């Protein structure tokens, strides 16, 4: 018998003057429609750095305490990107280009003092990119999640995973802005329709589930192994 994979999906509230965030739409859409054969938990994180109550990382910790995820897929908006963009690495640096939604602009500080300089994603990067492309949506890999809140959340999630085994695998996907945002904030990048974002997200989750089911023994904590069969 194979257990039901528990997938945490996070998005972000709008930031930087926009009224929308495609990552919130993805998280809300997946929570509303569900994904067959999985237990999905979706959370919209505040675009607030640091670890104080009200920050993205405090919100993430609260969810992870409540929902022991096999995989965490964190989504965020990158309006300069034209494709579904799977991040390979999170770095231990906060250096904001714009203030966060609490009005704070961190400069040259680590995400976590004493933690490693970087964490590679533990999501199946190639599998996700291939699955999204097969679904007909442009996708690629990225070597930088930036030094703003998205990178911070990715780093925190991977650090937590390395320290506690939960979530077993974790990583970040940056998505283009929505067509509605592009109409107000045009740039060189191509926007994506809400429809295509949902197709791509479902394809990404499919690749993650496949990966969870085929992960070699010894790469997951015992509790995961038992539940996934």
Q: Which is nearer to ligand PCA, 54 or 136 (CB)?
A: 54
69 binds ligand PCA (CB under 6 A): no
For residue 189, what is the DSSP state? S
- Compute the C-alpha angle 135/140/145, nearest 5°: 130
DSSP conformation letters of 162-175:
HHH--SSEEEEEEE
15 binds ligand PCA (CB under 6 A): yes
Contact 170, 157 (CB under 8 A): yes
Residues annotated as part of the active site: 87, 150, 174
In whole angstroms, the minimum distance from the beta carbon of 40 to ligand PCA comes to 19
Letters for 37-56 (x = contact with ligand PCA by CB under 6 A, - = none) are ----------x---------
- Count of residues near ligand PCA by CB under 6 A: 12
Q: Which is nearer to ligand PCA, 132 or 150 (CB)?
A: 150
In whole angstroms, the minimum distance from the beta carbon of 24 to ligand PCA comes to 8
For residue 144, what is the DSSP state? -
In whole angstroms, the minimum distance from the beta carbon of 136 to ligand PCA comes to 24
Choose the stretch contacting ligand PCA; rule: CB under 6 A; options: 60-68, 112-120, 142-150, 181-189: 142-150
Task: Read off the tokens for 118.
Answer: 């970087």
Of 5, 10, 70, 77, the one binding ligand PCA by CB under 6 A: 77
3-class secondary structure, 153: helix
Contact 164, 70 (CB under 8 A): no
Task: Read off the tokens for 69.
Answer: 């995820």
Q: H or E stretch including 227?
A: helix 222-228
12 binds ligand PCA (CB under 6 A): yes
21 binds ligand PCA (CB under 6 A): yes
Closest listed residue to residue 136, CA positions, set 209, 200, 202: 200
Within the chain, what is the greatest distance between any pair of CA atoms? 50
The phi, psi pair for 81, rounded to 5°, reads -100, 150
In whole angstroms, the minimum distance from the beta carbon of 110 to ligand PCA comes to 16
Of 5, 29, 50, 146, the one binding ligand PCA by CB under 6 A: 146
3-class secondary structure, 140: strand
In whole angstroms, the minimum distance from the beta carbon of 128 to ligand PCA comes to 18
Of 149, 154, 169, 209, the one binding ligand PCA by CB under 6 A: 149
Q: Which residues bind ligand PCA (CB under 6 A)?
A: 12, 15, 21, 23, 47, 76-78, 146, 148-150
């Amino acid at each position: 018998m194979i257990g039901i994979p528990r997938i945490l999906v996070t998005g972000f509230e709008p930031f930087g003057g926009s009224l929308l965030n495609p990552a919130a739409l993805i998280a809300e859409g997946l929570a509303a429609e569900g994904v067959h054969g999985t237990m999905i938990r979706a959370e919209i994180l505040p675009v607030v750095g640091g670890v104080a109550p009200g920050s993205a990382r405090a919100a993430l910790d609260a969810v992870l305490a409540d929902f022991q995820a096999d995989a965490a897929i964190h989504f965020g908006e990158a309006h300069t990107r034209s494709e579904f963009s799977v991040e390979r690495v999170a770095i231990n640096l906060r250096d904001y280009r714009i203030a966060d939604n609490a009005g704070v602009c961190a400069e040259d500080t680590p995400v976590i003092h004493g933690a490693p300089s970087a964490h590679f994603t533990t999501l199946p990067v190639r599998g996700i990119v291939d699955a999204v492309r097969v679904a007909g949506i442009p996708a690629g890999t990225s070597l930088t999640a930036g030094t703003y809140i998205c990178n911070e959340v990715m780093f925190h999630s991977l650090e937590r995973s390395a320290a506690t085994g939960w979530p077993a695998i974790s990583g970040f996907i940056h998505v283009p802005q929505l067509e509605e945002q592009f109409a107000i904030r045009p740039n060189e990048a191509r926007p994506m329709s809400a429809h295509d974002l949902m197709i791509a997200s479902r394809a990404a989750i499919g690749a993650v589930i496949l990966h969870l089911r085929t992960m070699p023994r010894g790469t997951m904590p015992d509790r995961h192994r038992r539940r996934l069969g």
